[in-house]
Amino acid sequence: MQWLRRNLVVIAGLLTLAYLILPNIIVMVFSFNKPAGRFNYAWREFSTDAWRDPCGVADLCGSLTLSLQIALWATIGATVLGAMIAFALVRYRFRVRGTINSLIFLPMAMPEVVMAASLLTLFLNLGAELGFWTILIAHTMFCLSFVVVAVKARVMSMDPRLEEAARDLYAGPVQTFLRVTLPIAAPGIAAGAMLAFALSFDDFIITNFNSGNTVTFPMFVWGSAQRGTPVQINVIGTAMFALAVLIVAGGQIVTNRRRKRALPQ
């Protein structure tokens, strides 16, 4: 009883962690499965077949490449535009600033399916051909709000005197931005960019409405789930998960090493 009381926080933490990670573990484990039929829902035997041939399913790797491309471009577009909006909102006083500040939240608050339908209406009325470009425009649009919010928080906490100090120390406007403003705002911009990438990569609803005949990875998974779930889907999922963990762990190691080096002997 005593022991339980002392370790309650740890136990609660571990249980929550398990709750979070269990689905990922299932995905991972079943990527090594060799299912009997077309559905990868029951464990049969260990196999690395799917790992040795990840593109073995028709159209899977094509849709994956497309999704990565869209996510990359949407991230770049949303990050550049969002960072600029965030700087403008924090640094400058102009007439419609308050309005823009609230309008930025609109895409986040709007139900996604409503947004998706409205976008489709808009694209059809404009006579736009549905496909790569309509998906990219839609993704950039809904990622923008998240980038703005992430960067704004960072820029708001920045001391404007740092830039004054840079100007005072012979840095022109461009140098000040590159050497001081950007590096200090970088964590906020990076957070916004990562969020944008994740949101765009696995978006289904808006993409489904506005894609025409184009098939992204989430749509491929959805489509194939009607007929059967290839193990390769789990392989891709596991690979993405592992990549994300590697990036986070790598970042952590670099920070730790830097901190250690900076500390006294």
Partner 1 sequence: MTDKQAGGDVRLSGISKTYGSFTAVHPLDLTVPQGSFFALLGASGCGKTTTLRMIAGLEEPTTGTVRLGDRDVTALPPHKRPVNTVFQSYALFPHLNIYENIAFGLRRRGIKSVKKQVDDMLELVQLGDFAQRKPHQLSGGQQQRVAVARALINHPQVLLLDEPLGALDLKLRRQMQLELKRIQTEVGITFVHVTHDQEEAMTMADTVAVMNGGRVEQLGAPAELYENPRTTFVANFLGTSNLLEAEVVRNTDGEVVVTVGGGKLRLPAGRCPDATATGGKVLVGIRPEKISLAPAADVDAVPAGRNSVTGRILDSSFIGVSTQYVVESPAGKGLEVYAQNVEHRAGLEPGAEVVLHWNPEHTFGLDAAQAIDAGVETVGETP
With CB under 8 A as the contact rule, the residue among 52, 126, 159, 227 that binds partner 1 is 159
With CB under 8 A as the contact rule, the residue among 7, 168, 244, 247 that binds partner 1 is 168
Q: Which is nearer to partner 1, 53 or 168 (CB)?
A: 168
Six-digit token string for 118: 């409205």
Q: Is 263 in the site for partner 1 (CB under 8 A)?
A: yes
CB atoms within 10 A of CB 192: 29
Q: Is 92 in the site for partner 1 (CB under 8 A)?
A: no
- Separation of alpha carbons 161 and 29, rounded Å: 53
CB of 151 to partner 1, least distance (A): 16
Q: Is 126 in the site for partner 1 (CB under 8 A)?
A: no
Q: Is 25 in the site for partner 1 (CB under 8 A)?
A: no
Nearest C-alpha neighbor of 97 from the set 106, 107, 108, 87: 87
Q: Is 165 in the site for partner 1 (CB under 8 A)?
A: yes
With CB under 8 A as the contact rule, the residue among 150, 166, 189, 196 that binds partner 1 is 166
Which of the stretches 24-32, 45-53, 157-165, 240-248 binds partner 1 when contact is defined by CB under 8 A?
A: 157-165
Nearest C-alpha neighbor of 197 from the set 142, 234, 235, 239: 142
Nearest C-alpha neighbor of 37 from the set 228, 184, 255, 199: 228
Buried b (16+ CB within 10 A) or exposed e, 52-66: eebeebeebbebbeb
Q: Is 227 in the site for partner 1 (CB under 8 A)?
A: no
Q: Which is nearer to partner 1, 17 or 165 (CB)?
A: 165
Q: Is 94 in the site for partner 1 (CB under 8 A)?
A: no
Which residues are within 8 A (CB) of 2 and not within 5 positions of it... i.e. 6 or more apart? none
Q: Is 191 in the site for partner 1 (CB under 8 A)?
A: no
Nearest C-alpha neighbor of 48 from the set 247, 246, 238: 238
Q: Is 49 in the site for partner 1 (CB under 8 A)?
A: no
For partner 1, the binding residues (CB under 8 A) are 159, 161-162, 164-172, 175-176, 179-180, 183-184, 261-264
